[in-house]
Structure 1
Amino acid sequence: MCGRFAASLDYPSLAARFGTAMEGGLPSPSWNISPSQRIAVIAQDEQGGRHLTAATWGLVPTASPTRNLGYPTHNARIESALSKQTFAAAARARRVIIPATGYYEWSKDHQPYYFRKNSQEALLIAGLCSWWREDEDSPWELTATILTTEAVGRAAEVHHRMPVLIPDDLAEEWMDPSSDAEEVFARVAEEGPTLSRRLLSHPVRPLTGRDDAGLTDAISI
């Protein structure tokens, strides 16, 4: 699973990289993002326009009458998202990229580890999004989930699941609503773990009650 991540992002560079409009209300830098908080997503609409915008972390299907589904939706398994009622519609037509500086995972003895690239480039995490509103008088809200897969490499030494990473050459196809969903899911599921094997990782201090850049500093254990 992925229940915490860091995002101290260069929004103008991301917008230029993906040719997106940069919308207002983007989240401030955070090193301890948890479900239900606002996150940045890169999405493509049906007309081909791309948007760097904000979403709530925790997908709510458009048809749901309530936000409280009774189960967590901040993660979705890439192996089953296309067939799960909660995620199927988004998996077929609303695939997004969730940029992150790095993410955290906890070992069985509750020690947090931080995973990141060996560079300042953002991780491109595979996500899904869905528009939802409580009633006809309420504004629409974009909600999102992070896709996970079986852990490999260093991640597998800490936890059995990890976020799905998107290779640069699959980013456009992933976001395109007209792409064949089964095909692009299969390619990302196959190629993403190669990127995960290259990530660096190190133990960090407990995250509780903090949100500062020092959270990602390595410690000795």
Structure 2
Amino acid sequence: MCGRYSLTASAEQIVEHFQLLRSVKFQPSYNIAPGQKILNIVELEDGSRKAVNLFWGLVPSRAKDKKNSSHLINARMETVQEKPSFRSAFKHRRCLIPANGFFEWERLNGKQAFHIHRTDQQLFAFAGLWEQWQHEAETLYSCTIITAAANELMQPIHDRMPVIISPGHYHQWLDKTADAEKALRLLNDAAYTDMTTTPVSDWVNNPRHDDERCVQVC
């Protein structure tokens, strides 16, 4: 699964990496948790990309209400085309979720926390889906992160991992007209080639903690 991550890049770095036409407004964070509004990259009808802030915890459009609905922070790659909560979003509302790293906890030896990041510490992007829930005059835009079975890097830590989209595949992933089967083939672990895992202190365990100590090597 993916339940915590970091995004500490500057607005300028995000604009350059994702080739955005407009500036980005967001709050960098070392410890982003579900239930917050998080930065997403979506593609507009003209093919340009826009940064938007969406609620992390997808509320299906068919949900009766947003309060009591299950806020789905992750969607499993294996069933993303079949589950009613994700099926339509996978076909029509794919997004990229920028990150500098994510956290996972290895439970066999005292729940050690790890920060998983690129070896060069640069930006990357999770594969995400977004949804619009609307009831009368109220509208909520929410998102989820797609996960897959752990690869060789992640298996010693956890049995699941978030899917990362390679920069060369950003357009294919965001393209609303792309065939869903082609989009599914982008959900592989090739983007983990330059990733590494770093043990960090238990400071990150508390979602209220948001500073450099969250990624400090222990």
Establish whether TM, by shorter chain, passes 0.5. Answer: yes
Aligned residue runs from structure 1 range 44-59, under 5 A: 44-59=43-58
Give the corresponding residue for 1:67.
66
1:98-177 matches, within 5 Å, as 98-108=97-107, 109-133=110-134, 135-138=135-138, 140-177=139-176
Taking structure 2 as the reference length, the TM-score comes to 0.90
1:19 corresponding residue in structure 2 = 19
Which AA in structure 1 matches 2:33? Answer: S
2:194 aligns with one of 195, 198, 206: 198
Distance verdict in 2 for CA 1:141–1:48, change over 3 Å:
farther
What's the % identity of the aligned pairs? 29
Q: CA RMSD in A?
A: 1.8
Q: What stretches of structure 2 of length at least 5 have no aligned partner?
A: none
Amino acid at match of 1:162: M
Q: Within 2, Cα distance between the matches of 1:15 and 1:9?
A: 10
**Alpha-carbon distance in 2 for matches of 1:118, 1:112:** 18
| 1:48-94 per-position Cα deviation (integer Å, ceiling 9, x unaligned) | 33211111101112232212455441000111111110011110011
Counterpart of 2:33 in structure 1 is 34
The residue type equivalent to 2:41 in the other structure is I
For residues 84-130 of structure 1, give each alpha carbon's deviation from its aligned partner in whole angstroms, at most 9, with x where no partner exists: 10011110011100000100001113211110001132121100001
Distance in 2 (CA, whole Å) between partners of 1:64 and 1:144 is: 14
Secondary structure, aligned partner of 1:105: strand
Shift of residue 189, structure 1, vs aligned partner: 2.2
Q: Does residue 1:6 correspond to 2:6, yes or no? A: yes
Distance 1:154 1:18 in 2: 26
Offset, 1:203: 1.1
Structure 1 unaligned residues grouped into runs of 5+: none
Q: CA deviation at 1:174?
A: 0.1
| Secondary structure of the structure 1 residue equivalent to 2:181 | helix
**SS in structure 2 of the partner of residue 124 of structure 1:** strand
Contact residue 153 and residue 197 of structure 1 kept, 8 A: no
Quick check: 27-36 or 172-181, which moved more? 27-36
Give the TM-score normalised by the residue count of structure 1: 0.89
Q: CA contact under 8 A between 1:204 and 1:217: conserved in structure 2?
A: yes
Count of equivalent residues: 213
Structure 1 pair 183/110, CA: closer, same or farther in 2 (3 Å)? Answer: same
Looking at structure 2, the residues matched to 171 and 69 of structure 1 have their Cα atoms a distance apart, in angstroms, of 34
Structure 1 residue ranges (4+ consecutive) displaced by more than 4 angstroms after TM superposition? none
Letter in 2 for 1:194: A
